[in-house]
Structure 1
Amino acid sequence: MADKRGIARIGARALGGLIGAGVAVVAIAGATLLPLPDFAIGAPAATVRPVPADQQRVCPGPVLALAADSGSATQASPIGEATTSYGTDGPDVQVTDLKPDSDGGHGSETPQALTVSTPHGSRTPPLFAGAQLQNAASDDLAGLTSAACAEPAADTWLVAGATSLGQTSLVLLANPTSVDATVSLSIYTETGTVSAPGATGIVVPAGGQKVVPLAGLAPAAAAPVVHVQTTGGEVVATMQQSFEQGIQPQGAELTGGTGAPSRQQVIPGMTIAGLAKVTAAQSGESVGVEFPAVRIFVPGDKDAEVTIGAVGEEATAAGTSYAQTVKSGNVAEIPLENLKDGSYTVTVNSSVPVVAAARTTSIGTKTRDFAWFVSSEPLRDTFLAAIPSGAGGTLHLTNASEKDQKVTVTPDGGKPTDLVVPAEGAANIGLSANRYTVTNADGLRGGVTFAGDGLTSAFALAPPGPLAAPIDVYAH
């Protein structure tokens, strides 16, 4: 029989062990649950609020002609003068003439930089807009041209131009900044990428302009697309295209940058006029007369399955849609058939990011012209639109939402006018030369067109770039 004292000693020891373990558990749990002293040291930081930069826009200046002086085949010369309209709700606009890459003089014969100071502490840039218009007429170059005065950028896509027979295209680079800009041009055509040694390392001097003839880099190109990239200063890039058949000028246009590569591109306000005359001219095999078309480039390495929809604005016949595959690295032009005279919103939906723009031709009683329409970005609630004097202007607004949107258009010194932009539709309003404040336009996309007998031109409306946001700076 076991010793009762031994059993008691063993039991006491086991009990003591259990009690000790329990105390340890309680101690650990207490250490876990009870708040411990916080000895962490926060990293010292300071919030830096950048001084808002001045807002800048650049108007590209008058159209240029090469070899106007027989003594210099590559020298550009201005043809006539452009009229400019601009305005702001902030401080006064400061106008600076940029040094032209031509034999032009001053003022309306040169690119102009428009500058407005941004008040300190502003969270949004001031309302600011400018545009130019010119009805050029010479023995070699004629046509209606217009352009928005645009913000400088380090990356721009130009979807326009041609260097085939009778076509002349110039890439206009304007640098309003205080440092030189080094520009590289990547050029793509219907046959693929163009290898052009002279397309890189192009220096655009501070406060100056550089004119690059596209034919010297991509000769005999029917459908070029140019990607403009810069280091150093930023530039405003514009494509000038003109067409001459025999000795007869057949139109001219200035085209700004289109939207960055995206799976959807929206082109507002594509206007078709005199399509019956265009059809008759095509039947007669007239060179340079083309049906409305969309030019598309696929910058990636995958082919694009593209659907194009053309929807008529109010009082315009309903549009239609098109589907096509566009090869990667190549430029394609897709004709927009079965349309009637009127204004349309063209929407390009793609399986991969693309860039796009649309082109139309106008034939009048004595003259012929063409226009390029680029894609645009959503606008803010309130913006300014500038309409230069010359041909009658039309403001086009496109609404992708599921609700009608009523905007108010107010001219400087005039009475406001309401315009209802229907859901998933578009509307337009005719405007005379003036500056206009447009309110309740958040999310809409817009453009401005000009038209006359055998004259046509267009530019897109773009929202301003954002101001610099506050930055938290941490010390090492």
Structure 2
Amino acid sequence: MAVSDRDGPGAIDDSQEFDDDSPIGDEEEPRHRAPSPEELAVEAGAPAAAGDIATDVALTDREAAANDAADRIRRVERRDVLRWGGRAAAGLGAALLMTGAVLGARALPPEPLEATEAPVTLVQPSSPLQSRVCAGPALRIGTSDGSDALALSAIAEPEVAIGSLGGEISEQRLPVPSLDGASGGTAIAQRGEATTLSAAQSLPVDVDDVRGLAVSECGETRLDQWLVGGSTRTGRQSTLTIANASQVSASVDVTVHGPEGPVESVGSTGISVLPASQVVLDLAAIAPGVGDVVVHVVSTGAPVSAHLQQSTTRGLERGGFETVDPVSALTTALLPGVAVTEATGIETQSGFDDAVPTLRLLSLEGGQVRVVFEAEDGSVIESEGELEAGRVTDFPLEEIPAGITTIRVSADSPIVAGARQVAIAADGNDFDWVAGGQPRSGSAAIAVPPGPGATLHVVSASEEPQEITVDGRAVELGALGVHRQPVEPGSVVVAGEALVVSVGYRDGSRVAGFTASPQGPTAGGVTVVH
């Protein structure tokens, strides 16, 4: 088989032929031949782009196809090598970085590169929408005479207060389908104002088998929340309300934790909450006979607002009424204005063991927890211990001096905390759960619903002293300082940095209060990185 002529200085003449022109079998390997000196001389004089002519001319079409396939395989293998080589280079870079850290500053260039931060802008919506949902009326499951254990009725209506620095406010009562047409909690919306919306309700109850005062915050809807308080033991009725103020349905899972851990239950998952409605659950139907309760509420589809109502009856004696507000599981919690009262001796009577001040804790993952009790006179008691994951632990506060106490809780893993305070008197008993709060910054109008002896508690979470303002009046607050003053119904404007704020109520036989939640994401705007 002859090779055709080529034009130019490197042309090949007709004398160049294959030495062996016998056919090549399909299974045979490609045959190779050594180029002659004449061919090498011609190749040396050819242009660089011509390649290895002596080898090229030895190829048949079948050999070329085989070599192309092999080349494709080699290219894939080379990509794999580059990929793993990149990973190895990254690992080597990390090793060099660690080595540089060990060597110290002398290993760095004499003039380090200049570090710059990307410019950011906080974009605040021109008309931000914030919403809060209140717990609603006091509810009773079953009739007072015991004739219908499943009957659900409203026994007292709340009074709602709103704190806002501006914007457009709207209110809507949410229906409770299982409540025979009665309304549930109030959904409150604020549009056009960036500062935090605040709302709270006051709920005094005095009927045949329930008496007490509950003041609770109208909370921002959430996908994940915890309720620290409640009991389903004999004589304690705990009712869980779940409100959905959005325009889409929510599916809710409820988990009850007790001293032995999460309680196995049926019917506590996939609870449907229709748009703009509220559902009511008897907690005893999910977790009966649990004395120390923490409830976890998780929602999908839409955020919800959950509250836990508890009433206590000891025989024929009414033992109080309370509404527990939701909190978030974080590594810190601050409980302001907890009243530790002197022992009365009533706690030694049968059924009165829960009529004492108590700190309730639950650790999600277990581990060390540190608790600091700060009295009004500045004295401090510190305690440290180990918590088991998922188990509710109650710590009676009989060793803490009587008075108003600030409780600071910190842990290495997320925890939730609440403190029970009590009012014991001849004309009645009551109790209240103080929710563990988180710091808030800026200026906000805190709602103050009516109630006896309303008192504002402001606690600093900052280790630096600062000047705060309360209704425009300057107040000097030291590092981790505390401020307390009486307030009137309506609202009170508080401004400062890293503050936890609560409002407490008390008379001889009633006690109540709420801890204001920090600013939610709906008011915070969006940070844009340029």
Q: TM-score range by the shorter chain?
A: 0.7 to 0.9
User: Structure 1 residue 101: deviation in Å?
Assistant: 4.7
Aligned residues: 406
User: In the alignment, is residue 99 of structure 1 matched against residue 175 of structure 2?
Assistant: yes
Looking at structure 1, the residues matched to 381 and 148 of structure 2 have their Cα atoms a distance apart, in angstroms, of 49
Partner of 1:420: 476
2:293 partner letter: P
1:461 partner letter: A
Find the residue that maps to 1:282 and give its secondary structure: helix
1:332 partner letter: T
User: Structure 1 residue 401: deviation in Å?
Assistant: 2.5
Identity fraction in percent: 28
User: Structure 1 residue 365: deviation in Å?
Assistant: 2.8
User: In the alignment, is residue 359 of structure 1 matched against residue 426 of structure 2?
Assistant: no
User: Structure 1 residue 338: deviation in Å?
Assistant: 2.2
- Bigger radius of gyration among the two: 2
Partner of 1:434: 490
Which of 318, 343, 348 pairs up with 1:276? Answer: 343
User: Structure 1 residue 92: deviation in Å?
Assistant: 2.9
User: In the alignment, is residue 237 of structure 1 matched against residue 306 of structure 2?
Assistant: yes
Structure 2 counterparts to residues 262-341 of structure 1, below 5 A: 262=331, 264-273=332-341, 275-277=342-344, 280-285=345-350, 287-300=352-365, 303-313=366-376, 316=377, 318-341=379-402
1:153-206 deviation per Cα after TM superposition (whole angstroms, max 9, x unaligned): 111011111111211111110111111111001221101121212110101111
Find the residue that maps to 1:151 and give its secondary structure: coil
Partner of 1:12: none
Partner of 1:413: none
1:90 partner letter: G
Structure 2 counterparts to residues 379-458 of structure 1, below 5 A: 379-410=440-471, 416-439=472-495, 441-458=496-513
Looking at structure 2, the residues matched to 472 and 203 of structure 1 have their Cα atoms a distance apart, in angstroms, of 39
Looking at structure 1, the residues matched to 176 and 527 of structure 2 have their Cα atoms a distance apart, in angstroms, of 37
Looking at structure 2, the residues matched to 258 and 234 of structure 1 have their Cα atoms a distance apart, in angstroms, of 14
Structure 2 counterparts to residues 462-473 of structure 1, below 5 A: 462-467=517-522, 468-469=525-526
Find the residue that maps to 2:327 and give its secondary structure: coil
Partner of 1:193: 262
2:310, 2:323 within 8 Å by CA — same for their partners in 1?
yes
Find the residue that maps to 1:442 and give its secondary structure: strand
Which of 183, 188, 193 pairs up with 1:114? Answer: 188
CA pair 285-320 structure 1, distance change in 2 beyond 3 A: farther
Partner of 1:214: 283
Looking at structure 2, the residues matched to 271 and 406 of structure 1 have their Cα atoms a distance apart, in angstroms, of 26
Looking at structure 2, the residues matched to 443 and 470 of structure 1 have their Cα atoms a distance apart, in angstroms, of 20
User: Structure 1 residue 285: deviation in Å?
Assistant: 4.7
Which of 397, 412, 433 pairs up with 1:372? Answer: 433
Find the residue that maps to 1:357 and give its secondary structure: strand
Find the residue that maps to 1:215 and give its secondary structure: helix
1:139, 1:248 within 8 Å by CA — same for their partners in 2?
no
1:369-414 deviation per Cα after TM superposition (whole angstroms, max 9, x unaligned): 111111111112211111112222111111133333332222xxxx
More deviation, 69-78/446-455: 69-78
Task: Please give the TM-score of this superposition, normalised by the length of structure 2.
Answer: 0.72
5+ residue gaps, structure 2, are: 1-122
Which of 159, 166, 178 pairs up with 1:83? Answer: 159
Find the residue that maps to 1:171 and give its secondary structure: strand
Looking at structure 1, the residues matched to 483 and 292 of structure 2 have their Cα atoms a distance apart, in angstroms, of 30
CA pair 288-63 structure 1, distance change in 2 beyond 3 A: farther
More deviation, 354-363/153-162: 354-363
Higher RCO, 1 vs 2 (CA within 8 Å, ≥6 residues apart): 1
User: In the alignment, is residue 258 of structure 1 matched against residue 310 of structure 2?
Assistant: no
User: Structure 1 residue 465: deviation in Å?
Assistant: 1.2
More deviation, 454-463/64-73: 64-73
2:242, 2:306 within 8 Å by CA — same for their partners in 1?
yes
Looking at structure 2, the residues matched to 403 and 231 of structure 1 have their Cα atoms a distance apart, in angstroms, of 40
Structure 2 counterparts to residues 115-194 of structure 1, below 5 A: 115-118=189-192, 125-194=194-263
Structure 2 counterparts to residues 52-67 of structure 1, below 5 A: 53-67=128-142
User: Structure 1 residue 307: deviation in Å?
Assistant: 2.2
More deviation, 289-298/430-439: 289-298
1:315-361 deviation per Cα after TM superposition (whole angstroms, max 9, x unaligned): x4734222332212211111223223321111112233221111122
1:167, 1:242 within 8 Å by CA — same for their partners in 2?
yes
1:464 partner letter: Q
Which of 436, 461, 468 pairs up with 2:516? Answer: 461
Q: After TM superposition, which residue ranges in structure 1, 4 or more long, deviate above 4 angstroms? A: 48-53, 69-72, 470-473
Looking at structure 2, the residues matched to 312 and 49 of structure 1 have their Cα atoms a distance apart, in angstroms, of 40
Partner of 2:42: none
User: Structure 1 residue 114: deviation in Å?
Assistant: 0.6
1:272, 1:362 within 8 Å by CA — same for their partners in 2?
no
Looking at structure 1, the residues matched to 288 and 180 of structure 2 have their Cα atoms a distance apart, in angstroms, of 27
Looking at structure 2, the residues matched to 281 and 443 of structure 1 have their Cα atoms a distance apart, in angstroms, of 39
2:463 partner letter: E
CA pair 429-140 structure 1, distance change in 2 beyond 3 A: same
CA pair 456-347 structure 1, distance change in 2 beyond 3 A: same
1:76, 1:101 within 8 Å by CA — same for their partners in 2?
no
1:57, 1:151 within 8 Å by CA — same for their partners in 2?
yes
Find the residue that maps to 1:386 and give its secondary structure: strand
Looking at structure 2, the residues matched to 394 and 471 of structure 1 have their Cα atoms a distance apart, in angstroms, of 40
1:306, 1:326 within 8 Å by CA — same for their partners in 2?
yes
1:168, 1:215 within 8 Å by CA — same for their partners in 2?
yes
1:397, 1:421 within 8 Å by CA — same for their partners in 2?
no
Find the residue that maps to 1:276 and give its secondary structure: coil
Looking at structure 2, the residues matched to 205 and 335 of structure 1 have their Cα atoms a distance apart, in angstroms, of 40
Q: CA RMSD in A?
A: 2.4
2:352 partner letter: V
Partner of 2:44: none
More deviation, 54-63/64-73: 64-73
1:267-294 deviation per Cα after TM superposition (whole angstroms, max 9, x unaligned): 1121234x232xx112445524433221
